[in-house]
Chain A
Amino acid sequence: MAYYEPIRELDEAPLIEPGSRLHDITEDISRVSETKAPPGWWIAFSLALCGVGLFVASVGYLFWRGIGVWGNSAPVYWAWDITNFVWWVGIGHAGTLISAVLFLFRQKWRTAINRFAEAMTIFAVICALIFPGIHVGRPWLLFYVFPIPNQMSIWPNFKSPLLWDVFAVSTYFTVSLMFWFVGLIPDIATLRDRSAGKIRRTVYGVLALGWRGSNRHWQNYERAYMILAAISTPLVLSVHSVVSFDFATSVIPGWHTTIFPPYFVAGAIFSGFAMVMTVLLIARTVFKLHRVVLMRHLELMCKVILTTGMLVGYAYGMEFFVAWYSGNEYERYVFVNRAFGPYAWAYWTMVGCNVLTPQVFWFKSMRQSIPVMFVVSILVNIGMWFERFVIIVTSLHRDFLPSSWGMFSPTVIDLTTYIGTIGVFFTLFLLFMRWLPMVAMAEVKGTMAQADPHYHEPSEHGHHAHEVHKAHGDASAPSKGLAPEGA
């Protein structure tokens, strides 16, 4: 028994389809960008492009007419746009969780999905940033949020959680982008070395930065990767905590609670894993990645969804308990109103999608059924959208004075802007899947048995555990006899 073999006593299973060679991984992943896109890709891409068209039209109309084309109005000034912002930022968090936190915990199964998830993070944060960018009302004055001298010779107020958010989300975006690119370098080099055409060779060549797999480079590279993982871990926890400060530091009943930071982070991971699963299931089917993305990976993701789903369920319950226990009648009213008021339908949709549906993953047959996973992942995405809607709208629409109570109803432009960002997200994602290695090849290879210097390929020689010098390559490898002249 060697260390590269799964430990049966611990119920471990291989991370790659057994019998795969290193070259198979290169082939499976690189092939996607080297051959014509399958029809499924074109269908998805045209749909996504329609979404982009819708987005451009909605935002264009909004800029033409003004922010009033959205439904934000007294008393609900934070409405769909902030709901969408929080939803998208949250989705991004699973990417960092998978790439950084699971890396630190040596969860090797992450290598099958981390590239995906990191790409998802970046595109989700791009979609997220659109909303506050427009929400400020005068997007051309957005630079006021940055500490740069402006015509009013006034500086940003660093005591405002909204400003903390600017720093948190922009740092998050920058760090995620760098982390993603650093991970991509060796894989882009693989594509470069396989490319036939001049354009491909030039583009991938430039992006690969001249990577030559040097061990002197790997040493610093691995250290950089580990440090990035180590600093991204507190970063990702801080980002959604800071997003929750936007709410929690205000004195609005329903927002002013200390449970918000961990509750938001758990929800972010929950929704992010659901989104990774949605996208991964599509990509796995369209691009036939069954060798790398095994049922085992999907099953593990189901378990994460189940766990985080129960964490948010706990948070929902705890919010009610604290509202009652606080003895504050405004706080109590907000929660009663959430569950039984005019927006009760939204509340129970949220509970149904986020707390009840993931419970099917208690059963192994459900964790292994692709249709079930797909439906649950979509429902969780919907549920998490409603969670943010419930937090924002139900807390605002009836505040301290009944005279200022009101209802929020979205406009068509609200809806089309939101659908449009989904189009933007999927357009970016589909382009990424088509042109960049969507599975971290170098990392997957690093988890294979062949990566272990003590690996001994099963051969007819029998048990020569230490005779690793023997030529025992596969049939296609050049045999030892004809190689080095002058021996």
Chain B
Amino acid sequence: MLTKADTRVVEGPPKRVALLLAEYDTAAEVMHAAERVRDAGYSKWDTHTPFPIHGMDRAMGLADSRLGWIVLCGALTGLTAAFTMMYWMNGVDYRIVIGGKPPDTIPSMVPVLFELTILFSAFAAVFGMFYMNKLPRHNHPVFESDRFAKATDDKFFLSIESDDPRFDLKATRKLLVASHATQVEVVEEEEE
């Protein structure tokens, strides 16, 4: 397959090698492969699995997710916005005395303070996650591979992008083959 790709007559728009895609049968194999790729010093690479694999973050050498900080900002924004809104509306802009209670009393604000804190945190968690993952992104070179559809079913993949400074078609392929991949595929994409 590889030799064919190297010598084939090019039809249509010019293509370039986008990434190398290795396929594995089990979670253990892809994890050990990830450890090797990590130790080889690659940076622009990823694993693709049907479900999150416990321990994969360490195998890939990833730092902890920073999403929590975004959510904390969301929570504080929600809390501040809720307090400002209620205090200004009921306590400043249009004061109404209800039940003989002071218009700007804090205890009765607690439920809404709580709910809006939660609401803003949830928005921050979901949209922060999308932002950090750069989603939605509907086209990606990995989708050029026909076998990749199995990544959401029962197969495990590891991709190394050609933009990686250490990427070398031959050496990288060798590394992946040595990592007990069942398939190693060169994935091309159209050149811009």
B8 at the interface (CB under 8 A from A): no
The residues in B between 121 and 138 inclusive whose CB is less than 8 angstroms from any CB of A are 121-123, 125-126, 128-130, 132-133, 135-138
Shortest distance from the beta carbon of B139 to any chain A beta carbon, whole Å: 7
B7 at the interface (CB under 8 A from A): no
B71 at the interface (CB under 8 A from A): yes
A401 at the interface (CB under 8 A from B): no
Shortest distance from the beta carbon of A181 to any chain B beta carbon, whole Å: 8
A98 at the interface (CB under 8 A from B): no
Residue numbers in B under 8 Å from A219 (CB-CB): 52, 57, 62, 65
Interface string of A462-487 (1 = CB under 8 A from B): 00000011010100011010011111
A193 at the interface (CB under 8 A from B): yes
Interface string of A211-252 (1 = CB under 8 A from B): 111111111111110011001101100100010010000000
**Contact B181 A483, beta carbon cutoff 8 Å:** yes
Q: Determine which residue in B51, B93, B111, B136 has the highest number of CB atoms from chain A within 10 A of its CB, and name it.
A: B51
Shortest distance from the beta carbon of A328 to any chain B beta carbon, whole Å: 21
Whole-angstrom CA separation of A469 from B178 in the bound complex:
11
| Among candidates A193, A238, A480, residue contacting B153 with C-beta atoms closer than 8 Å | A193
A155 at the interface (CB under 8 A from B): yes
**Contact B138 A455, beta carbon cutoff 8 Å:** no
A138 at the interface (CB under 8 A from B): no
A22 touching B2 in the complex, CB below 8 Å, given contacts A167-B112, A245-B111, A450-B27: no
Q: Looking across the interface, which residue of chain B has its beta carbon closest to that of A24?
A: B154
Q: Looking across the interface, which residue of chain A has its beta carbon closest to that of B48?
A: A213
Q: Looking across the interface, which residue of chain B has its beta carbon closest to that of A219?
A: B65
**Contact A215 B53, beta carbon cutoff 8 Å:** yes
Residue numbers in B under 8 Å from A163 (CB-CB): 112
**Contact B132 A154, beta carbon cutoff 8 Å:** no
The residues in A between 172 and 200 inclusive whose CB is less than 8 angstroms from any CB of B are 174-175, 178-179, 181-182, 186, 189-190, 192-194
Residue numbers in B under 8 Å from A238 (CB-CB): 111, 114-115, 118
Residue numbers in B under 8 Å from A443 (CB-CB): 51
The residues in B between 147 and 186 inclusive whose CB is less than 8 angstroms from any CB of A are 148-154, 157, 173, 176-177, 180-184
Residue numbers in A under 8 Å from B34 (CB-CB): 215
Shortest distance from the beta carbon of B117 to any chain A beta carbon, whole Å: 8
A147 at the interface (CB under 8 A from B): yes
A206 at the interface (CB under 8 A from B): yes
**Contact A442 B50, beta carbon cutoff 8 Å:** yes
**Contact B133 A221, beta carbon cutoff 8 Å:** yes
A404 at the interface (CB under 8 A from B): no
Shortest distance from the beta carbon of A209 to any chain B beta carbon, whole Å: 4
Whole-angstrom CA separation of A174 from B121 in the bound complex:
12
A51 at the interface (CB under 8 A from B): no
A227 touching B54 in the complex, CB below 8 Å, given contacts A157-B98, A167-B116: no
Shortest distance from the beta carbon of A460 to any chain B beta carbon, whole Å: 17
Interface string of B82-105 (1 = CB under 8 A from A): 000110011001101011010001
**Contact B28 A468, beta carbon cutoff 8 Å:** yes
**Contact A477 B182, beta carbon cutoff 8 Å:** yes
Residue numbers in B under 8 Å from A190 (CB-CB): 50, 152-153
**Contact B60 A215, beta carbon cutoff 8 Å:** yes
**Contact A153 B153, beta carbon cutoff 8 Å:** no
Shortest distance from the beta carbon of A484 to any chain B beta carbon, whole Å: 5
Shortest distance from the beta carbon of A219 to any chain B beta carbon, whole Å: 5
A168 touching B94 in the complex, CB below 8 Å, given contacts A23-B154, A219-B62, A469-B180: no
**Contact B129 A224, beta carbon cutoff 8 Å:** yes
Residue numbers in B under 8 Å from A457 (CB-CB): 26
B79 at the interface (CB under 8 A from A): no
A216 touching B154 in the complex, CB below 8 Å, given contacts A451-B51, A453-B31, A477-B25: no
A446 at the interface (CB under 8 A from B): yes
| Among candidates B56, B67, B142, B177, residue contacting A223 with C-beta atoms closer than 8 Å | B67
Shortest distance from the beta carbon of B54 to any chain A beta carbon, whole Å: 7
**Contact B55 A453, beta carbon cutoff 8 Å:** yes
| Among candidates B3, B25, B50, B65, residue contacting A485 with C-beta atoms closer than 8 Å | B3
A-B contact pairs, 21 of them (CB 8 A): A26-B154, A155-B93, A164-B115, A167-B111, A168-B115, A171-B116, A171-B118, A174-B119, A215-B46, A218-B56, A222-B65, A228-B126, A235-B115, A441-B50, A442-B51, A445-B51, A450-B27, A473-B25, A478-B183, A480-B182, A483-B181
Q: Which residues of A contact B (CB under 8 A)?
A: 21-23, 26, 147, 153-161, 163-164, 167-168, 171, 174-175, 178-179, 181-182, 186, 189-190, 192-194, 205-206, 209-224, 227-228, 231-232, 234-235, 238, 242, 245, 441-443, 445-446, 450-457, 468-469, 471, 473, 477-478, 480, 483-487
List 12 other contacts, CB 8 Å, given A181-B126, A223-B129. A26-B152, A175-B119, A178-B123, A186-B50, A212-B148, A216-B46, A221-B129, A224-B67, A238-B115, A453-B54, A473-B182, A484-B181
Q: Which residues of B contact A (CB under 8 A)?
A: 1-3, 25-29, 31-32, 34, 46-57, 60, 62, 65, 67-68, 71, 85-86, 89-90, 93-94, 96, 98-99, 101, 105, 108-109, 111-112, 114-116, 118-119, 121-123, 125-126, 128-130, 132-133, 135-140, 142-143, 148-154, 157, 173, 176-177, 180-184
